[in-house]
Structure 1
Amino acid sequence: MSALVQKHKEQPQLDWEVKNLASVLRVDEAHAVMLAEQGLITESQAGAILGVIDQLKAAGPSKFASKPGYGSIVLQIERVLATHIGEDTAGRLSIARSRLDQGATVRRVADRDSALEVAHRLTELLATLADVAERHKDVPTISYTHLQQAQPANFGHYLLAFEDRLEDAFDQLTQVYDRIDRCPLGAVGLSGTNLPTNRHRTASLLGFSQILDNSRRGRDAYYQIEMACTLAMIMTILNDLCTDLHVFSSTEFGVVEIDDCHCGTSSIFPQKKNPFALEIVKKVAQDAAGWVATALATFRNEGTGDTANRSLGILGDACNKTSAMLQLTSEILNLMVVNRSRCEALLKNTWVTTNFLANTLLLNHGVSYRTAHGVVARLVKNSLENRISRADVTIEMLQAAAEQMGVTGLGMSEQELRAALDPAEYIQQSSSFGSVGPEQVKRLLTSSRQKVVANCLWVESKERHLESADAELREVTEKLRVHKRV
């Protein structure tokens, strides 16, 4: 193999494997135990192999000295084993497995750990969103469509919408995790083996909940496309949230203030408070838009006879970045200040209760829906042209607008008009399922709390399962380590 081929083909793969040496050695340990239990190697041979693996684990990736030209980590480790226990015993670790199923197993172990870390950080953000929404459940604000003022809302309800979106992403993540959590070890290339192996044993020792059933799928990593999609979706949601907060924190809005520790200033404009933390999240979200395209491009047009492009090199980095941005977003939200007085001041000068007034005409005064809509639109138009604020609108102005639209005899009182134009009344009267009304926000908060608890239990159950498998692997390997003489 030429030096250039080694540099661009062998070395990048080897670098990834050495970085994930802990996962590689876990797979080696489980395989050695299974071979010994099935009588494919002796306990002495297994003990000798495990003794050298102990040394590699203690040294760690930084001390692992790969040798150019020896190929992937499987052969590199076999080389190290051979120097300590001889070639015959060293070579027995590769009985009943190939680099295809070994590499695929290492990749799934690493990806499973990464996915669980993302899930852990996501549960933290979901809990934070629920906490901050609870604190601001009574803060009135404005909802926007096309970035134009639409309806009265409240800040807690706004944050709970993001919590709900991220709950969907958590569900996607758990589904992908279940597909990662299938052990390919023992597929032995594509067609299995005639040797008396026990795939269920190695899967159990490595903490896998399932076995990848069809041996031909042993090297498959299509789940990585789903994982890239899930990560990109999480980052898209974080981008929406941070973009909103970026706008809301501007001087013109002033609805929120990002904490000083998440901001910087200008090198030339001393009055500025730049929300750098929000921009960090948004920058990663830009990169995330390419993760899915990269994943699809990696797996496209290779058919089933090609093994060169069966893994997504960016996935580990994408998981790390997503976990970090989930953690940063939690911190931003926890320290952010919501300016209630500014929210109320903005609401005071808006026309965001117009559909409430139209509904009042519909329900209480028999005006058809479209006609009521037209009457209120004319009222707003007349008021804007005459520089009349919402607070100064009178019943006579409403009746004049109605007459312009061909509606006469409105029996609405001044008090009824005032209530129909009041944002606080709008919020109080909102009762439809999932709306901004107090009872519905209370229900949404309760639901979010329940989901957070369920999510935490899911993560904890997976962590306990892996810890239990690790403990069993340590126990059985310890019994074999006493047989270190070849």
Structure 2
Amino acid sequence: MTDPRLADVSVFPDPIYKETVLRPLFDGAKNHHVAGFRAIDRAHLVMLAETGILDAEQARGIAQALESIENEVNPSALVYTGEVEDFFFLTEKELKERVGPDLGGRLHTARSRNDIDHTLFKLGLRERLNLLIDKALKLHAALIAAAEREKTTLIVAYTHGQPAQPTTFGHYLSAIIEFVRRDIERLFDAYRIVDLSPMGAAAITTSGFPIDRARVAELLGFSEPLQNSYSCIAGVDYITATYSAIGLMFLHLGRPIQDFQVWTSFEVGQIYVPNSLVQISSIMPQKRNPVPIEHLRHLASQTFGRAQSMLTVMHNTPFTDMNDSEGETQAMGYGAFDSANRVLDLLAALVAQVKINPLRVRANISRSCITITELADSLVRREGLSFREGHEIAAAVARAVVAMDGDLVSDGYAPFSDAFGKAVGRQSTLDEAAFAEIVSPEYFVAVRTRYGGPAPAPLNAAITGYRQDASRFAEQHQIILRRQADAARMLNERFGAVKGNA
């Protein structure tokens, strides 16, 4: 039998492999990761020079060649030919052509495509997370401003799709603020994992050269190196943490978006969307279509789906460096950021402009008897009844008012007096004015003064806390951005010194 290796005269790359794998990977790198490649080359070179692994003359020659490549090679104009395997080897080829194969090959001392790749992907995620967090903070601020503006604006709150109790729009928006706050915290938690540098892990086990991993991390703007070198090339939790946080945020945002869709319906009419966010029908002149809400809904779902796809790709993969987590998968995930940013921008604009229709809210409160819970509660407090007794009396009143298609405030006292007398055997101490006050939506909200309730005191306290959260988040993000900006300046200065500018 003949060893097939001896008879193999094929030449890499196979044409099909070139078109189905190598070309898409090359195009993805030139579209998404060129700036990252260049920053990594510069930072690694500076570290090699500072540690003495390269002498000053060697480092200067490589630095000058890297700069000439940056000035002369336009990545967007490159067409993949198969002459080199990928974008990394293209840069190395250009470098060797300028300084010779010996010096050109020295830049790769103590590093591998493994640690380079994961550093590239973290740089790409870091940039996108910075933008996403910024937009999430703007939505958070828009929600807080709207909650402040609408803190006394009555709405109907629903459970199981049916009118349940009155509250205020500010109280409802505050509920959104609280989960958005938690979602922002999850984004920052994911960011902390992304913000650990893999450079210096090399292929798996670091290197016998006296490299300074912390210095490269500093020059690239990372908070610090990721400690275990095997984890640097095998741990994909920076991917799963990022897309889990994104997926949860947009799963959560989809729920109030769905509420807004229902609330703008003709039958409910609780929310009014201004003309600037309404499209008209091409054939029915009476229609006002608040289609931005529909776009919010499907874009939030697309974002969630794209994030979930990233987790699915990571599922059941080996704990090692592997292509599953690399170029094309990373590019697929960037679509989640694109749709996420659109949702955050549009939702912030919508929240800032929508208004509650008070006439429709009043009408819906009147015909649904949703203040009746407070009648039962008040009977406990004012008449000394058990809650169950109060509940049964209140239920009888609601049935009577609904049957007459009446209004609880103006038509409910007579049924109340009758139901109370039958149940308790005496007249209520509540007169008609007291009854009308108790079943009004304003009173319903005003007496709910407990922590987290819609009454002015707890809601004002909550909004104060939300503003403190917003300030804390903004400062936390600014610290990160300042560190990265300082690192970029430092890298530019140190690279210039190595090149011979200073």
Same topology, TM > 0.5 = yes
Q: Deviations over 1:259-299 (max 9, x none)?
A: 33333222222222222322222111222332343223212
CA contact (8 A) 1:128 1:333 kept: yes
- How far apart, in 1, do the equivalents of 2:53 and 2:80 lie? 28
Determine whether 1:83 maps to 2:97.
yes
- How far apart, in 1, do the equivalents of 2:78 and 2:267 lie? 56
**In structure 2, do the counterparts of structure 1 residues 79 and 67 end up closer, same or farther at CA, with 3 Å as the change threshold?**
farther
| Match 2:57 to one of 33, 44, 62 | 44
SS at match of 1:192: coil
State the partner residue of 1:209: 223
Matches within 5 A, 1:423-462: 423-462=441-480
**Amino acid of the structure 2 residue aligned with 1:321:** S
| Match 1:350 to one of 362, 368, 377 | 368
CA contact (8 A) 2:171 2:454 kept: yes
**In structure 2, do the counterparts of structure 1 residues 292 and 72 end up closer, same or farther at CA, with 3 Å as the change threshold?**
same
| Match 2:48 to one of 6, 10, 35 | 35
Determine whether 1:243 maps to 2:255.
no
CA contact (8 A) 1:30 1:206 kept: yes
Moved more, 463-472 or 67-76: 67-76
State the 1:225 CA deviation: 1.3
**Amino acid of the structure 1 residue aligned with 2:156:** I
State the 1:72 CA deviation: 2.6
SS at match of 1:185: coil
SS at match of 1:218: helix
Q: Percent identity?
A: 24
**Amino acid of the structure 2 residue aligned with 1:289:** F
Moved more, 236-245 or 445-454: 236-245
State the partner residue of 1:472: 490
State the partner residue of 1:370: 388
State the 1:394 CA deviation: 4.5
CA contact (8 A) 2:114 2:202 kept: yes
**Amino acid of the structure 2 residue aligned with 1:249:** T
State the partner residue of 2:188: 174
- How far apart, in 2, do the equivalents of 1:395 and 1:335 lie? 39
**In structure 2, do the counterparts of structure 1 residues 306 and 96 end up closer, same or farther at CA, with 3 Å as the change threshold?**
closer
- How far apart, in 2, do the equivalents of 1:337 and 1:427 lie? 19
CA-based RMSD of the aligned residues comes to 2.0
State the partner residue of 1:18: 30
**Amino acid of the structure 1 residue aligned with 2:285:** P
**Amino acid of the structure 2 residue aligned with 1:408:** G
**TM-score if structure 2 supplies the norm length?**
0.91
**Amino acid of the structure 2 residue aligned with 1:179:** I
Q: Deviations over 1:128-161 (max 9, x none)?
A: 1111222212211111101211111111111121
SS at match of 2:120: helix
| Match 2:430 to one of 394, 407, 413 | 413
- How far apart, in 2, do the equivalents of 1:223 and 1:368 lie? 55
- How far apart, in 1, do the equivalents of 2:190 and 2:298 lie? 25
Q: Deviations over 1:73-107 (max 9, x none)?
A: 22121012122222222211111011000000011
- How far apart, in 1, do the equivalents of 2:302 and 2:252 lie? 14
SS at match of 1:309: helix
- How far apart, in 2, do the equivalents of 1:89 and 1:43 lie? 12
| Match 1:4 to one of 16, 20, 26 | 16
- How far apart, in 2, do the equivalents of 1:359 and 1:196 lie? 74
CA contact (8 A) 2:250 2:340 kept: yes
State the 1:56 CA deviation: 4.4
**In structure 2, do the counterparts of structure 1 residues 66 and 87 end up closer, same or farther at CA, with 3 Å as the change threshold?**
farther
State the 1:412 CA deviation: 3.0
Matches within 5 A, 1:297-446: 297-305=312-320, 307-311=322-326, 312-313=329-330, 314-402=332-420, 406-414=423-431, 415-446=433-464
State the 1:377 CA deviation: 1.2
State the 1:390 CA deviation: 0.8
- How far apart, in 2, do the equivalents of 1:56 and 1:374 lie? 83
State the 1:113 CA deviation: 1.2
State the partner residue of 2:7: none
Determine whether 1:183 maps to 2:183.
no
**In structure 2, do the counterparts of structure 1 residues 68 and 349 end up closer, same or farther at CA, with 3 Å as the change threshold?**
same
Moved more, 140-149 or 284-293: 284-293
**In structure 2, do the counterparts of structure 1 residues 349 and 230 end up closer, same or farther at CA, with 3 Å as the change threshold?**
same
CA contact (8 A) 2:114 2:321 kept: no
- How far apart, in 2, do the equivalents of 1:293 and 1:344 lie? 42
State the 1:329 CA deviation: 1.2
Moved more, 451-460 or 311-320: 311-320
With a CA cutoff of 8 Å and minimum separation of 6, indicate the structure with the bigger relative contact order. 1
**TM-score if structure 1 supplies the norm length?**
0.94
Question: What is the number of equivalent residue pairs in this alignment?
Answer: 483
**Amino acid of the structure 2 residue aligned with 1:447:** G
Q: Deviations over 1:146-184 (max 9, x none)?
A: 121111111111112111110000000111000111000
CA contact (8 A) 1:302 1:309 kept: yes
State the 1:252 CA deviation: 2.3
State the partner residue of 2:108: 94
SS at match of 1:32: helix
Matches within 5 A, 1:192-203: 192-203=206-217
SS at match of 2:155: strand
SS at match of 2:325: coil
- How far apart, in 2, do the equivalents of 1:215 and 1:364 lie? 70
- How far apart, in 2, do the equivalents of 1:460 and 1:171 lie? 15
State the partner residue of 1:290: 305
